[in-house]
Amino acid sequence: MANLHSDGTAVCLDGDVLAATLRRQMAARATRLRAIGVTPKLATVLVGDNPASASYIARKHADCAEIGIKATDIRLPAKTSQAQLLAHVAALNADPLVHGLMVQLPLPAGLDDDAALAAVDPAKDIDGLHPENLGRLLAGTPGLLPCTPHAIWQLLRHHQVPLKGAKVAIIGRGPLVGRPLSMLLSMRGIDASVTLLHSASRDIAEATRAADVVIAALGRPGFVTADMVRPGAAVVGVGITYGDGCSMVSDVAEDVASVAGHVTPPHGSVGPLTRAALLQNLLEIAERGLPG
């Protein structure tokens, strides 16, 4: 098996390394934009004090500082009303100096995630989760791509994992990852043959054992085990569950590395690339001269 290391362990699909490369490429793009008088600018909206959400937002802002993207960090109390939240989104939509914005999910109880996604101007929708952008992906004419699916595609492409005609088993049909990823990878030009598995699927292991690529995005620690993986297959763990203390546990069990050809590391890999994909969308908007 050509894709295995000589000691029989899988090649590491390391998102940290690729994300650092992508940030350097983005820094060069930001420099070129500033040279023509465009300062790329992000706005994030965080409602409440979910510690995981606060940590992701802090990392997005640190990435912006490193790349040379201006960023505004809007924090609203958990008791914010739907109308107040939508007023903040409308103001950012209308601000010609803001190229892209996102509302961090999940919102606290009482606020509507879908309504918040739909309120973002689709031309500034760096999450790629507005119904118009999801609809364009479904139609095969994508606009801004959803970040985690784009991250996973870039990770597989970077490591030259073949997708054309390949059997790809995706576990999890959520709106942020599994479902849009199934649309992306089955697009003309990428040409994977996708099986979308979920909690009501029978014989998940049978489907994953037949797959060239297994992508676990369900949020169940250690769900994909070595016996579910064909030797030499590529395995991507997306879901991360916070264990004791600050440990992070992947949807992919550690024993998978002894069977797979490629595998994401146990501490996760897709998160830093998801942040990179968000800022790639932002720079694309700024380069198009849109919308301001």
Residues binding ligand GUE (CB under 6 A): 52, 55-56, 59, 102-105, 127, 147, 268, 271-272, 274-275
Residues annotated within a binding site: 172-174, 240
The residue sitting closest to ligand GUE, measured at its beta carbon, is: 271
Nearer to ligand GUE, 99 or 211 (CB): 99
124 within 8 A of 98, measured Cβ to Cβ: yes
Sheet holding 41-47, edge to edge: 70-76, 41-47, 100-103
Distance between CA atoms of residues 185 and 193, nearest Å? 8
Closest separation between CB of residue 275 and ligand GUE, Å? 5
Distance between CA atoms of residues 271 and 16, nearest Å? 9
Say which of 41, 60, 63, 121 is annotated catalytic. Answer: 60
Say which of 41, 63, 104, 280 is annotated catalytic. Answer: 104
Closest separation between CB of residue 258 and ligand GUE, Å? 23
Nearer to ligand GUE, 175 or 291 (CB): 175
Q: Phi and psi at residue 63, in whole multiples of 5°?
A: -60, -45
Closest separation between CB of residue 150 and ligand GUE, Å? 11
Closest separation between CB of residue 106 and ligand GUE, Å? 7
- The pair of structure tokens assigned to 227 is 């016996």
Say which of 63, 121, 125, 127 is annotated catalytic. Answer: 127
Q: Check if 255 is active-site.
A: no
Closest separation between CB of residue 271 and ligand GUE, Å? 2
Closest separation between CB of residue 134 and ligand GUE, Å? 13
Nearer to ligand GUE, 147 or 185 (CB): 147
Nearer to ligand GUE, 39 or 55 (CB): 55
Q: Check if 73 is active-site.
A: no
User: Strand 240-242 vs strand 234-237: parallel, antiparallel, or unpaired?
Assistant: unpaired
Within 13 Å and on the Cβ side, how many CA atoms surround 231?
Answer: 7
Rounded to 10°, the helix 51-67/15-35 angle is: 50
Torsion on CA atoms 53, 93, 154, 233, rounded to nearest 10: 50
Nearer to ligand GUE, 119 or 211 (CB): 119
Nearer to ligand GUE, 29 or 150 (CB): 150
- The pair of structure tokens assigned to 61 is 């802002």
Q: Check if 127 is active-site.
A: yes
Q: Which residue has the tokens 């620690």?
A: 221
The Cα-based distances of 240 to 11, 20, 202, 223, 268 in angstroms read 20, 20, 24, 11, 7
Burial of 229 (0-12, 13-18, 19+ CB in 10 A): buried
Within 13 Å and on the Cβ side, how many CA atoms surround 175?
Answer: 13
Residues annotated within a binding site for NADP(+): 172-174, 240
Residues classed as catalytic: 60, 104, 127
